[in-house]
Amino acid sequence: MQTIRIRLAALTLIITALAACNPQTPMTSEPTPTPAAFPTSQPIPRDVVQVWLTLPDQSKKLQREPDLQFGTSAGTGGAVIPINDQVVYQRWKGLARQ
């Protein structure tokens, strides 16, 4: 009788250990976040970009500006900003809490 209990306990322990090693079992107990749903009533066209502006004198801080048309031509009257991806003016440290 004692041997049966020991074998049953060992079998239960082995089954529990094998179930814990299942690769489909998540490593954390936190729920998986669901992606935020975007409103579908007013889709944004692909050739329109949102502009958020911050000025050096801090008179505007991430203020929303009117949307602009995005394209490959220089356009008419607007400023053309040349981009050199070899020059780094400011490093982004991120928003992570430390």
Q: List pLDDT tens digits, range 3-16.
A: 888 888 888 888 88
What is this structure's pTM? 0.31
CB 39 within 8 A of CB 49: no
Quote the pLDDT of residue 57: 92
**Rounded Cα–Cα distance for residues 9 and 2 (Å):** 11
Q: List pLDDT tens digits, range 41-61.
A: 565 567 788 888 999 898 999
In 27-63, which positions are buried (b, 16+ CB within 10 angstroms) versus exposed (e)? Answer: eeeeeeeeeeeeeeeeeeeeeeeeeeeeeeeeeeeee
Record the tokens describing residue 44, joined without a space.
């944004």
Mean pLDDT value across the chain: 74
Q: Where are the domains of the chain?
A: 46-71
61 HSE (CA, 13 A, CB side): 2
